[in-house]
Amino acid sequence: MSELDFDADELAMLRQLFRSEAQDGLELIIARLLATGLVRPSEDALTEMMRVTHTLKGSAGTVGLPAMVDLSHRLETVFAAFRRGSVPWTATTADLVVEVIDALRSYLDRMTEPNADTTVDELRVTIDELARPPVSDAVPVVVRDDGSEADEAVNEAVVDSVPIPVIDSVPTPVIDVASGGAAVGEPAAEPGPPEPKTWLRVVPERIDELMSSAGELLFDRTRIERRVQLLRTLARDLARTRHTLHDALSDDTPLPPGMRQTLVKTDGELAGQAALLSQTTAALLDEIEALRRTIGVVQRGLTRVRMESVKSLMTHAARTLRALRRATGVTVELRTVGEDTEFDKAVAEQLVDPITQLLRNAVAHGVEPPEDRAAQGKPAVATITIRARQDGNSLVLEVSDDGRGIDTAALSKRLIATGRWSAVRARLASEADILAAVVDASVSSRGEADELAGRGVGLGLVRRTVAKLGGELTVSSVPGKGTTFSLRLPLSTTLAQAMLFKVDGQVYAIPDVHVVDTTLVDAQATTSVVRHDVLPVLRLEQLLGHGPATERKPALVVSFAGKDLVCTVDKIIGAREIIIKPLGPLLAPLTLYAGATISGSGKVQLILDSAQLVRRAYPEAPMAFQDQVSSPTVLAGRALVIDDSRAIREAMTSMLGSEGWIVDVAEDGARALQMARQLPYDLIVTDLEMPELGGFELISQLRKDERFKLTPIVIITSRANTEHRRRAKDLGVRALVAKPITRRKLLEALAAR
């Protein structure tokens, strides 16, 4: 088939699919090879390998990759030769084949790169060499596509009718999901050929997206729940107020007859409304509870979809050991227990490096040379065991060797020598305490404990990964018998992508989906222009730290529910994958935080709630101060608008004008004071930050003037922090309105009492 069958996008997508499929297939071959060890794989296994390469050949042709067609064909030929027995299987064959397949897999990843062609040539040679009989390196076996080798092994009809190979119980980057629930768990209706299970192939990213949406749902629910709790309090207050009214009416105070009737009627209505409100909030709470359960089901379901068996990790471990054997010459046997234990794929992926590290450690430091082992009466070949088991909600992975164990006496001496422990502490410490020092986070600064444990470097990586996943790492050791590292991990985890940053010496996180950009903000700036939009600036150094900034700061552009703002920080660290942990019931009322995460070194880092940040920059409803009973209702009259921005002055003039106000404007506080001396205004609308005389100074001056004691004043500002609100309240300001000003916000502010 030619590339002309597809347009460019389609072809790119198809090739991507092919690569993923090919990786799966090649992984399967490796798994089969590793399963059989050094001996020749069974006839069935070799047939399966041929089927994989044959399928690859077909698909590679479809997506226009002639080099892959050629390489797959050669590989198939080699497997056919092994199966036929025309090329003997020697002790090194398995290693060589694994190597070739690994090379082929890395070529798949890089095949679009410019120098990929040379790789193809090299691969061709190495594949052909596999089929060369080791005794006489005479003639390579040449087999053509139309040769009988392929036909005898592969049922063409079957292969061709299944364009995507369906592979069960094999570590693959694509998750197989059983579909067609009817087939599952039902006894076969009639004997005969079993109904083939239907499988659905899903790109992992899609499930991850769903997972993260489900995680978001949790946050949403918490937010709604808080609001409903508030409603419930309001309902109670309302009921109480109504009771007060009721009581007042029942003590026979003389009232004008019409008035009493009206009040009794109002009381009756209020009672009904209060009851309805509390019923509704109670029902809402029930519904939230139902929502919580459903979200739980969705999350658990998605997690189960993402579950995979530990087998892939074990397969990886086997390969690592093979590579180590080749590199160091140390022969170690791998024993695996509990391969079928299932756990979250997201956790599995994070564990590849730590397990590799533990194996390296065991091979390099744990295992004695064969002669020493013989002297102790141990088998010459050391064994490393990886055990997996599920324990409640945890997965326990143990990596054990039968080597020399950790010398706790030497370790204790070193801990004293390096000043980590006092002599007293060392004397009091139990064996277990000393061993714990090997994996203790507080000993992490320099790999001393690692080094003196004789267990090499790299434990830090293991410890960090385990901590990041919310798990625990422990070690046990028996001198002369061996060492066991035990990783206890959550079966599944809510990993989320977060942006990390520093404010006032502490690291914080914010969900990465809400961070749309970064920028720089000048000291004192209250707005910032990002891609032609003027956005409010939320100064996190004021919210979370000590006081205002004196210099230019980096900032994150946060977008949530259609509203954007700029948050200044001290330093942007970057996007990381984090685990979200709840802050617990005691701190739950602090809505600024969506939770926390634990860093690799075990520190708690707080996660900010984007919704709350937005709310701080855009107070939706203007802040109305209820205790200003004496100020008159604003209907219309003469208004004075003070702002140093001409655009804002114009906008306010137009908005107020259309409400029937006569509007005067001033560009700063000093000018406004002059104007106020001449005319008694019915409404003052002022900005806070202005040259000459600022907003608060202006208001305090005005309040000293008898004529402006009770005049409604509205502040328009882009920064409304607690301090501002407090001052505004002290000065009897009617409302604070956040910029950008809309007609609705302004009218609400005027209506506020």
Binding region for other proteins (CB under 8 A)? 441, 467, 470-472, 504, 506, 543-545, 581-587, 589-593, 596, 598, 601-606, 615, 619, 722
Cβ closest to other proteins, residue 318 vs residue 499: 499
Both structure tokens of 652? 């306010």
CB of 218 to other proteins, least distance (A): 16
Cβ closest to other proteins, residue 129 vs residue 570: 570
Kindly tell me the burial class for residue 253, based on how many C-beta atoms sit within 10 Å of its own C-beta (0-12, 13-18, 19 or more). Answer: exposed
CB 485 within 8 A of CB 552: no
Q: What does the alpha-carbon distance between residue 609 and residue 449 come to, in Å, rounded to a whole number?
A: 39
User: In 3-state terms, what secondary structure has residue 677?
Assistant: helix
Q: What count of Cα atoms within 13 Å lies in the side-chain half-sphere of residue 124? A: 12
Assess whether the previous peptide bond of 196 is cis (omega < 30° from 0): no
Cβ closest to other proteins, residue 596 vs residue 728: 596
CB of 586 to other proteins, least distance (A): 5
Secondary structure of 441-477 in HEC code, one letter for each residue: HHHCCCCHHHHHCCCCCCHHHHHHHHHHCCCEEEEEE
Cβ closest to other proteins, residue 158 vs residue 586: 586
Tell me the sheet residues that pair with 401: 384, 483
CB of 436 to other proteins, least distance (A): 13
CB of 295 to other proteins, least distance (A): 21
CB 667 within 8 A of CB 643: yes
Q: What does the alpha-carbon distance between residue 14 and residue 1 come to, in Å, rounded to a whole number?
A: 13
CB 143 within 8 A of CB 77: yes
The region that residue 157 occupies, defined by phi over 0 for left and psi between -120 and 50 for alpha, beta otherwise, is alpha
Cβ closest to other proteins, residue 170 vs residue 598: 598
CB of 471 to other proteins, least distance (A): 7
Q: What does the alpha-carbon distance between residue 221 and residue 628 come to, in Å, rounded to a whole number?
A: 35
Cβ closest to other proteins, residue 115 vs residue 393: 393
CB of 441 to other proteins, least distance (A): 8
Residue with tokens 């290693």: 95
Cβ closest to other proteins, residue 596 vs residue 683: 596
CB of 544 to other proteins, least distance (A): 4
CA 341 to chain centre: 24
Q: Which long-range contacts (CB under 8 A, 24 or more apart) does 53-60 make?
A: 53/25, 53/29, 53/79, 54/150, 54/153, 54/154, 54/159, 55/25, 55/159, 55/162, 55/165, 56/21, 56/22, 56/25, 58/159, 58/160, 58/163, 59/18, 59/21, 59/22, 59/163, 60/18, 60/22
CB of 392 to other proteins, least distance (A): 14
Cβ closest to other proteins, residue 453 vs residue 579: 579
Cβ closest to other proteins, residue 55 vs residue 493: 493
Nearest Cα neighbor of 591 from 224, 106, 127, 250 is 224
Max CA separation in the chain (angstroms): 123
Question: Residue 523 carries which side chain, given as an amino acid letter?
Answer: A
What are the Cα distances from residue 610, in Å, to 133, 258, 545, 740?
A: 66, 53, 18, 19
CB of 108 to other proteins, least distance (A): 39
Both structure tokens of 229? 């709790």
Q: What are phi and psi of 174, to 5 degrees?
A: -110, 140
CB of 604 to other proteins, least distance (A): 4
CB of 151 to other proteins, least distance (A): 58
Q: What are phi and psi of 35, to 5 degrees?
A: -65, -35
CB of 391 to other proteins, least distance (A): 15
Residue with tokens 């909600």: 393
Cβ closest to other proteins, residue 595 vs residue 695: 595
Cβ closest to other proteins, residue 135 vs residue 586: 586
Cβ closest to other proteins, residue 596 vs residue 685: 596
Cβ closest to other proteins, residue 132 vs residue 502: 502
Q: What does the alpha-carbon distance between residue 367 and residue 113 come to, in Å, rounded to a whole number?
A: 42
Kindly list the strands in the beta sheet with 495-503, ordered across the sheet, starting from the edge strand earlier in the chain. 571-579, 495-503, 506-511, 604-608, 593-598
Cβ closest to other proteins, residue 150 vs residue 749: 749
Tell me the sheet residues that pair with 534: 529
